[in-house]
Amino acid sequence: MAKLRGSILVVDDEPAMRLLLSSVLKEEGHDVTAAATGEEALQLIATRHYHLVLTDLKMPGISGLKLLEQVKRDDPGTAVIILTAFGTVEGAVEAMRKGAVHYLLKPLANPDELRLTVRRVLEERRVADEATTLRQATEAVFPFGEIIAGDAKMQAALDLGRSVAPTDATVLITGETGTGKELMARAIHHWSPRAEQAFVAVNCAALAETLLESELFGHEKGAFTGAVAQRRGRFELAHGGTLFLDEVGEMSPALQAKLLRVLQEGTLERVGGTKTVTVDVRVIAATNRDMQRLVAGRAFREDLYYRLSVFPIVLPSLRERPADILPLAAHILEQASRRFGKHIFGFTDEALALLQAYAWPGNIRELQNVIERAAILCREGRITPAHLHLSVSPAVSSSDAPKTLRELDRAAILAALAAHKGNRRKVAEQLGIGLRTLYTRLREYGISAESDEEQ
């Protein structure tokens, strides 16, 4: 695994210690700046952001404790590690209460202690930043107050999410791959009283059993080969917030038992440890598997299933919500055009009909991939069927699906009308045609769409 590299400010009034700390951290590849006093450190902090400040506790002038208070007030995102002599551990404890993430005893018994502590602190900071960044990125694509859900089935699912969000009930979200299960989980977190705390996601199918156990519950130093330092798991990192367990149906029976205990008692033990850790975490799980069949086949614990599915939410596939296909496509295209710096103004009629007729086995994830690829291929103007690279197979088309281009065009207009509640001006904009052309087609296809919002 590649080493995490960070910008670190070392503050110590002893030149030898300052040089040792700086040298060890530079060897690790970090960008290190050194300061001899608290005053000098504050001047440096005023000019740039540091991922981590490593400061001695006892210094003339501004002490490490005062420096900590100033850093946490001016730049709360900066982590602080305190260095303290054996006889002043009480001061280190006070520093921890005021926001320091760790303390080290002087003199250092082994440089590896410094390396591993800094590595762990930067990793935890990366996880927290990643959760924040991903939440912001997700909101930028699909703002939670404006999730596209014109279809009644999807709107009903969102209503369930809003209803359960204010509670701490465990939620089980089921649906095909690509239907937006993680987006729903993030929306529930966003609507909940825990919204300001961490949202931490774990894919249970992506890790081997031993790695997943350590990832979820953490481990103690020496718990297994390679466990060179204590590490907090995702449950602890999500304390106060929400833990999203994706593909929970892939979890092994042994881990299912441990997960059940955390859900029942709110406590856990790190791998290789005996200390009981209390966590306050709201769990949202998701799966594309038939959980009742897994329970019947004894591949999944029945008691855990009932504990997870206190409040079940089923997400419909994209083919079950046809009214949302074109609004979703238009939204994704708008975002992709802006991101890629393209001047793309919508879809041709033939492209819209093709989008509406395709079965979307990969659901919204496939739709997003197809539209983004088309945006890359299209230089300017409108997306055509050639940009989409889709084919409508009779094997995946329902017997009721439109077959002729005229039928596909009519279906596209009906879907747009449903999405925009009959607002013909918005329908014309979405379809990329003039209002007069839309009126002509409405008459030709015998479609009536009344709206008071045209003007």
Task: Identify the burial level of 73 via C-beta atoms within 10 angstroms of its C-beta, where 0-12 means exposed, 13-18 middle and 19 or more buried.
Answer: exposed
Dist CA 327 CA 359 (whole Å):
16
Dist CA 422 CA 454 (whole Å):
9
Residues 247/205, Cβ–Cβ less than 8 Å: yes
**Is the preceding omega at residue 107 within 30 degrees of 0, hence cis?**
yes
3-class secondary structure, 102 = strand
174 bridge partner residues: 287, 314
Of the candidates 105, 113, 116, 111, the residue with the CA atom closest to the CA atom of residue 24: 111
3-class secondary structure, 242 = strand
Give me the sign of the Cα torsion angle 406, 412, 415, 421.
Answer: negative
Residues 92/98, Cβ–Cβ less than 8 Å: no
Mean pLDDT, the chain, integer: 84
pTM value? Answer: 0.59
Per-residue pLDDT of 32-46, as tens digits, reads: 999 999 999 998 887
Domains annotated on the chain, with CATH: 7-127 (3.40.50.2300), 142-316 (3.40.50.300), 320-445 (1.10.8.60)
3-class secondary structure, 71 = helix
Residues 348/356, Cβ–Cβ less than 8 Å: no
User: What is the DSSP pairing of strand 380-383 with strand 343-347?
Assistant: parallel
User: What is the chain's Cα-based Rg?
Assistant: 28
Dist CA 166 CA 169 (whole Å):
9
Per-residue pLDDT of 157-192, as tens digits, reads: 999 999 999 999 999 999 999 999 999 999 999 999
Dist CA 309 CA 291 (whole Å):
10
| pLDDT score at 452 | 38
Dist CA 284 CA 170 (whole Å):
6
Per-residue pLDDT of 348-377, as tens digits, reads: 988 998 998 888 989 998 999 999 999 999
pLDDT at 394 over 50: no
Per-residue pLDDT of 189-248, as tens digits, reads: 999 999 988 899 999 988 888 889 988 998 888 788 777 677 888 999 899 999 999 999
At residue 403 the predicted structure's pLDDT band, cuts being 50, 70 and 90, is very low
Dist CA 164 CA 169 (whole Å):
7
Helix (H) or strand (E) holding 269, with range, is strand 267-269
Per-residue pLDDT of 284-334, as tens digits, reads: 999 999 999 999 999 999 999 999 999 999 999 999 998 899 989 998 998
| pLDDT score at 402 | 45
As a whole number, mean pLDDT of residues 129-133 equals: 56
